[in-house]
């Protein structure tokens, strides 16, 4: 311890005289605890020996610091508890000394030791598939490409072939034997599922199997999960082509280089067929278009087409090899929606749980989805269930044949060209199966049939859900039965399911799900919607041609440069098509003009036309017939061009008219020319509407076509499925907001024809198929419903009947009227507020104007300098300066002033407008209200009171019989909720009377409650309520239920024996508003008032202490608060007050209740 | 027969670990011997750490010996047992405190806010008057003080038990003594003694 740390205490009384001062206590203690160096130790020791006081102090300190006795018994007491815990510790099974959880460096998911690969250079753990996907070690900074593993890995994803699937199904999932007869040994195509690394964990029958789901996940969204028949790489390539947007600029670039550029930016294998000229120059300048569009345009210039072959995107000459799927160049491929991976996991879980029981997924069973693979760790039976599930999902389709089986389902409306339904049906009839199912889950049974017949059997999602939920099982032994019959029997094990042929297979669906035709119609509708989108896109570009304006001064420049210039100016993609010389010199000198006109001027002299393709304008060779016209046709969307006079005749008449109106070539297909439909298109339609209607009447399709490089309108009448197309046409036609009545009439005719066609079809189908007539009829009824729904042709909804849960139109009208009242009362205050704002603004402006006028700074400087006595030789200059400043100020002030005046004028005008608007709005609302009241009266007189009339018809009078009033009666009789009971009836109940019509008035049949308190008696006549009552129930209920009178006093005129009495009182409960209160007075126990606040409204209106309120209006007011409860806040009350033995009447406006009330 | 050394006892415990029946019982007896030998001082230390809360100290004692038992295989044979136990005890008491604080029970160090214990020593006149002040020392200083003053450990042992350097241990001891000296003066203990 340093000397400076010593704390020096004053010498205590007993210190040795003349000696050193005593050391501090901490030094004394420090000596005990070896904290002092040797010298200090010696000094303090010497001091202690010499100074008894310090020695005593140290002893006292030690004593004070003495530790309490060691808690020996406490320690012993803890032993039994410890021993118990030690026992528990020893009893616990020895766990692994250290648990290390590995996480994959790439996907960060936990991974099992047995299932991991380590980077050979940094030992970072990876899933095998993650490493493969990343292609290298995913650890930061490590580029290792080799791995080490704990066990030899099998080759990645070897695909299991079909026979294996069958074997798996037979071995694991199905408790039965199956044999196929005479079934040609067709090679089964590769099924969805693949692969695995079956490595049974030691001591367990669980196996880890990976199922390849990638194709499933890329499948398009169909009614049921379905495998896309295209290989995965094509799907991926299409996706990339559709999704990637590119901006290109090729100027005389050889095709070879273009291709290698595409290869670089897409990462796809883009190749040139050997027969194509790689040196061909490509001229293309595109901005932000999809790769597929760009590729199409490149192909067009190169005279090639796109094919997907040998895992590459191949550009090949047309006519070489099998063609790729024909596709409109502008069509956009949707990114594959695919299945939801988590959904797949849940489905598989459910399927396995259905097969093995609810506890099937207890550990160590596990399921994950990773990199498109379903990784399942489970016992073989569960794997069998998974395979069955996958097979059900993606069983492949193969052709077959059918003849005369009794299960034959109808497949009408299927286009033989696109459908393989016949082949599937044949196969179902020809294939014979022998099978034995014992409590086999339905899905597994179906999967078996799918694999046994090579027919794609899809299960609609709803049906699948049902099968999984109901745990439907099949117990069936069949020998040598056609597959179709077997399928019928299997599906029949759940009566809610049925099956029918689909385009290329079989669909199992719920019986209440839409049938085939409905689905076809839906698909066609969607397709129509998509093409409408595409058309809208082209339309937009065409509109831009008319909207964009530019001026140009180009002379003797190459066409390609001129187009580049226009493209840059307009932001549209304009490219040079095939057969056009990009080097042709052009001249374009124009003032401000539209882009369309500029293009016309540019192209017409060169005899070129313009084509619109997927949003890209392509310059194409034209001929004299259409030059200029091509641009014009594109510039004007069809829907804006009028068709002209009525067309009445065959299809040729339509074609002729279109040619005449559009000025383009109209190409008619052979089918179109052969069709014998008669058209009647009323006058006043646009071309688009006419085409829609023609589709409805005759199934006419139209589209833009290219004919020898010219734009042309193509017309076709396929006629293959007239009802469906017709319905679609009708649906579109009926969607026009401005369809003329003549069109509507045509629509009705078409609808009649459609029905006739349907009936004929149904009859024909019924005659042909015999026993399944009912099914066909049901299907067509369904179809007709759908069509009617599409075309908006559903019969008008019947008036809702009470007791069937229908909505009450009366209540809707009442609600509407209440809403109107709300708006009416809001309009006034709103307008007043706006007006006040305007007034305030005007006031501010006027004040500023006045201030400006009175600003002393604006007075002429002469006035001030005249008052200024100082004058010198140099005054001239400052004066001039001052003058200049003054005139500047005045000029600015004048500007400000005129601006202010202008704003003031505008404000005044706005004020006037607000006033006018208010008046108009009020008038409009009032007239709306009047209409509503009229409709309400009609309704009340007819439908909703059917129950009342029914009661009358049964001899039950409206009043007088039922205890509890109208509301209770209605509630009991009509099963209506209390809220739905008209307010007028509730007012009558409130008054405690029941009424019956008696001549020009209403006779009181029964009186109770309030009515009796008011002195009413049965037999009295209710003559008026806010006006004479001459009408029926609607009038009475409308008056009594008037929401404007809610919570306010209203007058009732009651006559008895020739005298008429006027009652003034509020009726009905106050709803949704604060109730009335009188502040400043309180009613004592004896009924007398006390004044609590002389400044409040009550006392100011004249209420005094000691007053007793006898009546509020005509309401007895023994309990003032109860009487006030009937009024809304702000109501004007007429209080009859007893004071000094006399009565006096006071009027007061009620306050509102606070929430506490 | 002379008492077996700590090391012998630990050896027996470890031998019995793998065995069952009688051998296991013998191992338990050996551990009990270790417990009897060390529990009392460790408990005293823990009582200090827990500001006199006997209940909490006993819980911590159980926990200490449980950890001791679990960790026996990793104990370096031949070294003194006590510093190791103290270290486990201190960690156990800190963990107990953290647990309490996580439950929102207490704020501050393990002892803050704990109910003031009835100090058995405080009833004796004069003796143990400063024990209250000891319990109010900051935790680090208190731990050193308890080991050095009450247990009579060397600074080296205390430092090992507390996981700090000897120099730090001495520094903390010095700070603790300075505090206690101030408290003693505040209480007037020394003046009374010197005046006698």
Q: How far apart are the CA of A45 and the nearest CA of chain B, in angstroms? A: 17
Residues 6+ apart with CB under 8 A from A395: A191, A447, A450, A451, A454, A455, A456, A457
pLDDT attached to residue A750: 55
pLDDT attached to residue B98: 78
pLDDT at A228 over 70: no
Any idea which of A154-168, A235-249, A749-763 has the lowest mean pLDDT?
A: A154-168
pLDDT attached to residue A525: 56
A78: chain B residues, CB-CB within 8 Å: 39, 43, 58, 61-62
pLDDT attached to residue A142: 78
If contacts are CB pairs under 8 Å, which of residues 21-40 in chain A contact chain B?
Answer: 24-26, 29-30, 33-35
A608 touches A619 (CB < 8 A): yes
Say which residue, A944 or A736, is predicted with more confidence: A736
Any idea which of A331-335, A380-384, A1111-1115, B45-49 has the lowest mean pLDDT?
A: A331-335
The residue of chain B with its CA nearest to that of A88 is B66
Q: Count Cβ–Cβ pairs < 8 Å, chain A vs chain B.
A: 144
pLDDT attached to residue A769: 37
- Best of B30, B141, B153, B194 to disrupt the A interface by mutation (most A CBs within 10 Å)? B194
- The C-alpha atoms of residue A986 and residue A966 are separated, in whole angstroms, by 7
Hey, what long-range contacts does A254-259 have (CB within 8 A, 24 or more apart)? Answer: A254/A278, A254/A279, A254/A280, A254/A281, A254/A282, A255/A279, A255/A280, A255/A281, A255/A282, A255/A298, A255/A302, A255/A315, A258/A282, A258/A284, A258/A298, A259/A315
Any idea which of A655-659, A756-760, A765-769, B176-180 has the lowest mean pLDDT?
A: A765-769
pLDDT attached to residue A13: 46
A61: chain B residues, CB-CB within 8 Å: 130, 180-181, 184, 189-190, 193
pLDDT at A531 over 70: no
Total count of residues recorded for chain B: 196
Q: Do B39 and A76 touch (CB under 8 A)?
A: yes
- The C-alpha atoms of residue A607 and residue A586 are separated, in whole angstroms, by 12
- Best of B49, B158, B181 to disrupt the A interface by mutation (most A CBs within 10 Å)? B181
Element (H, E) at A574: strand A573-576
pLDDT attached to residue B142: 87
pLDDT attached to residue A69: 60
Q: Do B39 and A75 touch (CB under 8 A)?
A: yes
- The C-alpha atoms of residue A826 and residue A692 are separated, in whole angstroms, by 46
The mean per-residue pLDDT over the stretch A280-306 comes to 83
Q: Name the residue facing A26 among B66, B127, B181 (closest C-beta).
A: B181
The mean per-residue pLDDT over the stretch A199-218 comes to 54
If DSSP states are collapsed to H, E and C, what string results for A743-809? HHHHHHHHHHHHHHHHHHHHHHHHHHHHHHHHHHHHHHHHHHHHHHHHHCCCCCCCCCCCCCCCCCH
Residue A1074: strand, helix, or coil: coil
The mean per-residue pLDDT over the stretch A752-766 comes to 50
Assign A431 a pLDDT band (cuts: 50, 70, 90): confident
- Best of A13, A78, A98 to disrupt the B interface by mutation (most B CBs within 10 Å)? A78
DSSP summary character for residue B114: S
Assign A545 a pLDDT band (cuts: 50, 70, 90): confident
Burial bucket for residue A1047 (CB in 10 Å: 0-12, 13-18, 19+):
buried
Q: Name the residue facing A64 among B41, B119, B129 (closest C-beta).
A: B129
Q: Tens of pLDDT along A764-812?
A: 444 433 333 344 445 445 445 544 443 333 333 333 333 333 445 555 6
Q: Name the residue facing A25 among B42, B58, B190 (closest C-beta).
A: B190
Q: How far apart are the CA of A20 and the nearest CA of chain B, in angstroms? A: 16
Any idea which of A266-280, A536-550, A617-631, A1134-1148 has the lowest mean pLDDT?
A: A617-631
- Best of B31, B39, B123 to disrupt the A interface by mutation (most A CBs within 10 Å)? B39
- The C-alpha atoms of residue A28 and residue B190 are separated, in whole angstroms, by 12
A55 in B contact zone (CB under 8 Å): no
Q: How much is the CA Rg of chain B, to the nearest whole Å?
A: 19
pLDDT attached to residue A177: 33
Say which residue, A880 or A748, is predicted with more confidence: A880
A90: chain B residues, CB-CB within 8 Å: 24
Q: Of A404, A398, A409, which is closest to residue A499 (Cα–Cα)? A: A409
Residues 6+ apart with CB under 8 A from A154: A197
Sheet holding A125-126, edge to edge: A125-126, A117-119, A147-149
Hey, what long-range contacts does A974-979 have (CB within 8 A, 24 or more apart)? Answer: A974/A802, A974/A803, A974/A947, A975/A802, A975/A803, A976/A802, A976/A808
Q: How far apart are the CA of B77 and the nearest CA of chain A, in angstroms? A: 20
Residue written as token pair 């001062």: A21
B150: chain A residues, CB-CB within 8 Å: 67
pLDDT at A872 over 50: no
- The C-alpha atoms of residue A1115 and residue A1144 are separated, in whole angstroms, by 15
pLDDT at A1134 over 80: yes
Assign A876 a pLDDT band (cuts: 50, 70, 90): low
A67: chain B residues, CB-CB within 8 Å: 44, 121, 128, 131, 149-150
The model scores a pTM over 0.95: no
pLDDT attached to residue A516: 55
A371 φψ region: left (φ > 0), alpha (ψ -120 to 50), beta (else): left
pLDDT at A175 over 70: no
Q: Name the residue facing B184 among A64, A79, A81 (closest C-beta).
A: A64
Q: How far apart are the CA of B113 and the nearest CA of chain A, in angstroms? A: 21
pLDDT attached to residue B74: 79
The mean per-residue pLDDT over the stretch A1018-1044 comes to 79
- Best of A50, A67, A73, A97 to disrupt the B interface by mutation (most B CBs within 10 Å)? A67
Any idea which of A7-21, A114-128, A371-385 has the lowest mean pLDDT?
A: A7-21
Q: Name the residue facing A12 among B35, B130, B194 (closest C-beta).
A: B194
A29: chain B residues, CB-CB within 8 Å: 177, 180-181
Q: Do B177 and A66 touch (CB under 8 A)?
A: no
- Best of A13, A62, A74 to disrupt the B interface by mutation (most B CBs within 10 Å)? A74
Q: How much is the CA Rg of chain A, to the nearest whole Å?
A: 48
Main-chain dihedrals φ then ψ at residue A444, nearest 5 degrees: -65, -40
**In 10 A of CB B25, how many CB atoms?**
12
A26: chain B residues, CB-CB within 8 Å: 174, 177-178, 180-181
pLDDT attached to residue A521: 58
Burial bucket for residue A331 (CB in 10 Å: 0-12, 13-18, 19+):
middle
Q: Of A714, A677, A716, A718, which is closest to residue A698 (Cα–Cα)? A: A677
Q: To the nearest whole number, what is the mean pLDDT of chain A? A: 67
Q: Tens of pLDDT along B153-191?
A: 888 888 888 888 888 999 999 999 888 888 888 877 766
Q: Do B149 and A67 touch (CB under 8 A)?
A: yes
pLDDT at A533 over 80: no
Q: Which residues of chain B have pLDDT under 70?
A: 1-2, 18-21, 102-128, 190-196
pLDDT attached to residue B194: 62
A387 touches A171 (CB < 8 A): no
pLDDT attached to residue A683: 76
Q: Name the residue facing B128 among A54, A68, A74 (closest C-beta).
A: A68
Residues 6+ apart with CB under 8 A from A443: A351, A354, A388, A389, A392, A459, A464, A467, A468
Beta bridge partner(s), residue A407:
none
pLDDT attached to residue A192: 32
The residue of chain A with its CA nearest to that of B177 is A26
- The C-alpha atoms of residue A1053 and residue A1038 are separated, in whole angstroms, by 16
- Percentage of residues of chain A with pLDDT beyond 70: 59
pLDDT attached to residue B121: 38
């Amino acid at each position: 311890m340093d000397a400076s740390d010593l704390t020096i205490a004053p010498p205590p009384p007993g210190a040795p005289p003349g000696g050193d001062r005593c050391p501090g206590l901490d030094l004394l203690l420090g000596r005990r605890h070896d904290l002092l160096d040797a010298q200090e130790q010696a000094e303090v020791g010497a001091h202690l020996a010499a100074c008894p006081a310090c020695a005593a102090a140290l002893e006292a300190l030690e004593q004070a610091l003495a530790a309490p006795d060691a808690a020996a018994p406490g320690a012993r007491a803890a032993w039994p508890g410890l021993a118990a815990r030690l026992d528990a510790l020893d009893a616990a099974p020895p766990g692994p000394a250290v648990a290390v959880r590995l996480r994959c460096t790439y996907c960060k998911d936990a991974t099992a030791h047995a299932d991991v690969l380590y980077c050979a250079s940094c030992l970072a753990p990876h899933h095998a598939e993650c490493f493969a996907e990343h292609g290298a070690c995913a650890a930061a900074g490590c580029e290792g490409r080799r791995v080490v593993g704990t066990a030899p890995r099998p080759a990645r994803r070897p695909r299991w072939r079909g026979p294996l699937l069958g074997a798996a199904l037979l071995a694991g999932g199905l408790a039965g034997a199956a044999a196929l007869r005479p079934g040609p040994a067709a090679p089964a195509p590769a099924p969805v599922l693949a692969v695995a690394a079956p490595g049974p964990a030691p001591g367990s029958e669980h196996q880890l199997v990976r199922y390849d789901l990638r194709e499933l996940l890329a499948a398009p969204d169909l009614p049921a999960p379905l495998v896309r028949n295209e290989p995965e790489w094509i799907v991926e390539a299409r996706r990339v082509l559709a999704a990637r947007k590119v901006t290109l600029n090729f100027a005389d670039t050889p095709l070879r280089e273009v291709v290698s550029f595409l290869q670089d930016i897409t990462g796809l294998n883009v190749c040139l067929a050997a027969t194509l000229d790689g040196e061909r120059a490509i001229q293309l300048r595109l901005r932000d278009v999809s790769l597929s569009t760009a590729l199409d345009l490149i192909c067009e210039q190169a005279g090639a087409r796109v094919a997907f072959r040998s895992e590459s995107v191949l550009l090949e000459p047309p006519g070489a090899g099998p063609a790729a799927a024909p596709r409109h160049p502008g069509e956009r491929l949707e990114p594959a929606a695919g299945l939801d991976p988590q959904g797949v996991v849940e489905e598989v879980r459910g399927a396995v749980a259905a097969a093995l029981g609810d506890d099937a997924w207890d550990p160590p069973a596990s399921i994950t989805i990773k990199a498109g693979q379903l990784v399942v760790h489970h016992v073989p039976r569960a794997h069998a269930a998974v395979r069955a599930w996958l097979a059900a999902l993606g069983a492949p389709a193969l052709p077959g044949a059918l003849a005369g089986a009794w299960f034959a389902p109808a497949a009408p409306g299927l286009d033989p060209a696109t459908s393989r339904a016949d082949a599937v049906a044949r196969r179902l009839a020809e294939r014979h199966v022998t099978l034995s199912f014992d409590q086999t889950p339905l899905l597994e049974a179906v999967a078996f049939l799918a694999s046994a017949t090579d027919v794609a059997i899809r299960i609609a999602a709803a049906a699948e859900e049902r099968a999984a939920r109901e745990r439907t099982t099949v117990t069936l032994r069949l020998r040598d039965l056609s597959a179709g019959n077997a399928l019928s029997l299997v599906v029949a094990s759940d009566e809610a399911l049925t099956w029918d042929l689909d385009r290329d297979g079989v669909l199992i669906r719920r019986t209440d799900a839409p049938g085939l035709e409905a689905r076809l119609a839906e698909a066609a509708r969607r397709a129509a919607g998509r093409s409408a989108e595409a058309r809208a896109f082209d339309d937009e570009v065409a509109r831009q041609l008319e909207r964009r304006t530019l001026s140009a001064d180009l002379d003797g420049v190459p066409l390609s440069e001129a187009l580049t210039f226009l493209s840059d100016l307009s932001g549209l993609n304009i490219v040079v098509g095939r057969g056009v010389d990009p080097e042709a010199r052009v001249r374009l000198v124009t003032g401000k003009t539209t882009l369309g006109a500029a293009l016309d001027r540019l192209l017409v002299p060169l005899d070129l036309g313009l084509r619109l393709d997927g949003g890209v304008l392509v310059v194409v060779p034209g001929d004299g017939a259409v030059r200029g016209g091509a641009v014009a046709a594109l510039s004007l969307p069809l829907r804006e061009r009028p068709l002209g006079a009525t067309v009445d005749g065959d299809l040729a008449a339509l074609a002729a008219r279109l040619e005449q109106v559009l000025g383009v070539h109209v190409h008619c297909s052979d089918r179109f020319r052969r069709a014998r439909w008669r058209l009647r298109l009323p006058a006043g339609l646009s071309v688009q509407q006419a085409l829609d209607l023609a589709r409805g009447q005759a199934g006419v399709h139209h589209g833009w076509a290219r004919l020898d490089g010219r734009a042309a309108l193509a017309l076709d009448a396929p006629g293959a499925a007239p009802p469906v197309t017709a319905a679609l046409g009708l649906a579109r036609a009926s969607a026009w907001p401005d369809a003329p009545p003549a069109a509507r009439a045509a629509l009705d005719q078409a609808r009649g024809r459609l029905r006739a066609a349907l009936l004929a079809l149904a009859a024909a189908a019924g005659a042909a198929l015999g026993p399944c007539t009912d099914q066909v009829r049901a299907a067509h009824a369904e179809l007709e419903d759908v069509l009617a729904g599409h075309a908006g042709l559903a019969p008008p909804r019947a008036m809702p009947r009470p007791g069937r849960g229908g909505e009450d139109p009366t209540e809707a009208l009442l609600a509407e009227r209440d809403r109107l009242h709300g708006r009416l009362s809001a309009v006034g205050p709103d307008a007043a507020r706006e007006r006040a704002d305007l007034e305030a603004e005007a006031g501010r402006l006027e004040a500023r104007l006045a201030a400006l006028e009175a600003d002393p700074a604006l007075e002429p400087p002469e006035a001030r300098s005249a008052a200024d006595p100082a004058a010198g030789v140099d005054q001239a200059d400052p004066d001039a300066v001052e003058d200049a400043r003054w005139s500047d100020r005045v000029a600015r002030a004048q500007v400000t002033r005129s601006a202010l005046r202008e704003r003031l004028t505008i404000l005044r005008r706005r004020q006037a407008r607000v006033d006018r608007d208010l008046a108009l709005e009020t008038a409009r609302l009032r007239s709306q209200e009047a209409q509503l009241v009229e409709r309400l009266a009609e309704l009340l007189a007819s439908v909703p009171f059917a129950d009342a009339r029914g009661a009358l018809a049964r001899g039950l009078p409206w009043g007088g019989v039922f205890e509890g009033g109208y509301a209770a009666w209605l509630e009991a009789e009509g099963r209506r909720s209390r809220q739905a009971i008209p307010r007028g009836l509730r007012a009558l109940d409130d008054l405690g009377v029941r009424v019956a019509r008696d001549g020009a008035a209403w006779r009181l049949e029964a009186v109770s409650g309030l009515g009796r308190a008011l002195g009413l008696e049965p037999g009295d006549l209710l003559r008026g309520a806010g006006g004479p009552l001459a009408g029926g129930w609607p009038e009475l209920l409308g008056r009594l239920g008037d929401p404007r009178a809610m919570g306010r006093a209203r007058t009732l005129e009651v006559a008895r024996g020739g005298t008429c009495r006027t009652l003034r009182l509020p009726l009905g409960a106050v709803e949704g508003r604060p109730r009335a209160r009188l502040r400043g007075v309180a009613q004592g126990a004896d009924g007398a008032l006390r004044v609590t606040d002389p400044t409040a409204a009550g006392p100011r209106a004249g209420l005094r202490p000691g007053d007793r309120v006898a009546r509020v209006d005509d309401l007895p007011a023994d309990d003032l608060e109860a009487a006030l409860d009937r009024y809304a806040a702000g109501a004007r009350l007429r209080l009859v007050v007893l004071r000094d033995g006399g009565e006096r009447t006071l009027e007061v406006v009620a306050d509102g209740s606070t929430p506490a009330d | 027969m002379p008492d077996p050394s700590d090391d012998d006892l630990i050896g027996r415990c470890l031998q019995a670990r793998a065995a069952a029946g009688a051998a296991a019982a013998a191992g338990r007896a050996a551990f009990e011997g270790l417990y009897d030998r060390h529990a009392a001082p460790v408990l005293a230390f823990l009582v200090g750490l827990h500001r006199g809360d006997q209940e909490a100290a006993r819980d911590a004692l159980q926990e200490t010996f449980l950890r001791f038992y679990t960790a026996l295989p990793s104990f370096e044979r031949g070294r003194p047992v006590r510093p190791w136990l103290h270290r486990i005890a201190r960690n156990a008491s800190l963990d107990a405190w953290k647990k309490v604080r996580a439950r929102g029970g207490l704020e501050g160090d393990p002892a803050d806010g704990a109910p003031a214990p009835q100090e058995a020593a405080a009833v004796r006149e004069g003796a143990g008057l400063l024990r209250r002040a000891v319990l109010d020392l900051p935790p680090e200083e208190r731990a050193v003080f308890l080991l050095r003053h009450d247990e009579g450990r060397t600074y080296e042992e205390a430092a090992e038990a507390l996981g700090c350097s000897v120099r730090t241990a001495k520094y903390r001891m010095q700070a603790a003594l300075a505090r206690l000296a101030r408290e003693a003066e505040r209480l007037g203990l020394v003046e009374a003694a010197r005046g006698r």
